[in-house]
Amino acid sequence: MKVGFIGLGIMGSRMAANLQKAGHDLVVYNRTQSKADELVEQGATRAESPEEVAQQCRLVITMLSTPEAVEEVALGTDGFLKSLPGNSLWVNCSTVNPSFTIKMAHHAKKMGQRYLDAPVSGSLVPAEKGELIFLIGGDAADVEQVQELLDVMGKETVHVGDHGQGASMKIVNNMMLAQAMASFAEALKLGTALGISEEKLCETLLGGPAAAPFLNLKQTKILKRDFSPQFPLEWAHKDLHLAGVTAYEQNVALPSLHATKELYAQAKEKGFGEEDLSAVYRVFLSEGK
């Protein structure tokens, strides 16, 4: 199957590579063209614009960082939506807020195209191993059309409901994830202030019922001070912001969310935005960039 893939960052590059390894013909675009080099060397076709991707494909997957980036590649001057053949399918794996994804679904429909919101649960390693979990909003028939591709990139597909529901589940998921990381960072701060070693805190807390399972993946990063990004902190902050926007739209009060968002803002302010989200712990250490 010929697949257009737009967005080749930490996640998208690995997702696209798995599709390529499975024998799918890729047409790829990334704003920083060098990020497509490895895929092109392995046989992918490099597009010079999102529009050029659409001219060669009836299925386009996007994996981008922000709603603004998604809107630009879809509807901008060189956007792909206007150039897709009629009744093509756009699968948006980007993490965006529900109201935005519903707006994109409406734009797609108005232009004679189909749309799925399909954000993923998982970071660098699951993306590399093809073990992501897809959270889908949209028509069941469209999910069925791309199930083969989803099975290559992930281990599970959860069809949550109509357009916007996949994005809704992802926002809730990432809100919990970022808050759990922040809570663990605070626990480490208090524990070490009380004279307990980081090693003993990690060993005890991460083996107990109070810790989210994903925190086990962050133990080595914290103990070795290796904050190379699996899920960049700046995107965790962005997702908390989008959760706050969504809560405002729904007239829902989420006080701990907003406190957590400001902690991540502090981490970004200190220069840790491009590091892993576990670098939020660095806010509590006597250091800075």
Of the listed 170, 218, 261, 268, which one is catalytic? 170
Closest alpha carbon to 117 in 139, 98, 136, 142: 136
CATH number of residue 140's parent domain: 3.40.50.720
Q: Give the DSSP letter string of 44-90.
A: PEEPSSHHHHHTT-SEEEE--SSHHHHHHHHHSTT-SGGGSPTT-EE
* Average pLDDT of the residues in 22-28: 97
Q: How many CA atoms lie within 13 Å of 111's alpha carbon, on the beta-carbon side?
A: 21
What domain range is 32 assigned to? 2-161
**Residue 264 tokens, joined:** 């991540």
pLDDT digits (tens, 9 = 90+) for 72-81: 999 999 999 9
Q: Residue 214 to residues 66, 201, 207, 208, 223: CA-CA distances in angstroms?
A: 24, 16, 12, 13, 16
3 state SS of 171: helix
Q: How many structural domains compose the chain?
A: 2
Residue 289 located in a structural domain? no
Q: How far apart are CA 80 and CA 41, in angstroms?
A: 24
| H or E element, residue 155 | strand 154-161
**228-247: average pLDDT:** 97
Domain boundary among 127, 161, 195: 161
Over pLDDT 70: what percentage of the chain?
A: 99
pTM of the full predicted structure?
0.94
What is residue 289's predicted lDDT score, i.e. its pLDDT?
A: 42
Residues 101 and 224 in one domain: no
pLDDT at position 286 over 90:
no
Instruction: Write down the mean pLDDT value for the chain.
Output: 96
Give mean pLDDT, residues 27-43.
95
Would you state the pLDDT for residue 288? Answer: 42
Reported as a single tens digit per residue, the pLDDT across 172-184 is 999 999 999 999 9
Kind plus residue range of the DSSP H or E element containing 128: helix 124-129
Residue 1's pLDDT band, with cuts at 50, 70 and 90, is: confident
- Label residue 25 by pLDDT band (50, 70, 90): very high
53 and 145 co-located in one domain: yes
127 and 231 share a domain? no
- What CATH code is carried by the domain that includes residue 273? 1.10.1040.10
pLDDT at 258: 97
* 200 noted as active-site residue: no
Q: Are residues 98 and 178 in the same domain?
A: no
Q: Which of 130, 161, 192 is the endpoint of a domain? A: 161
Cα separation, 216 vs 114, in Å, equals: 39
Residue 287: per-residue pLDDT: 58
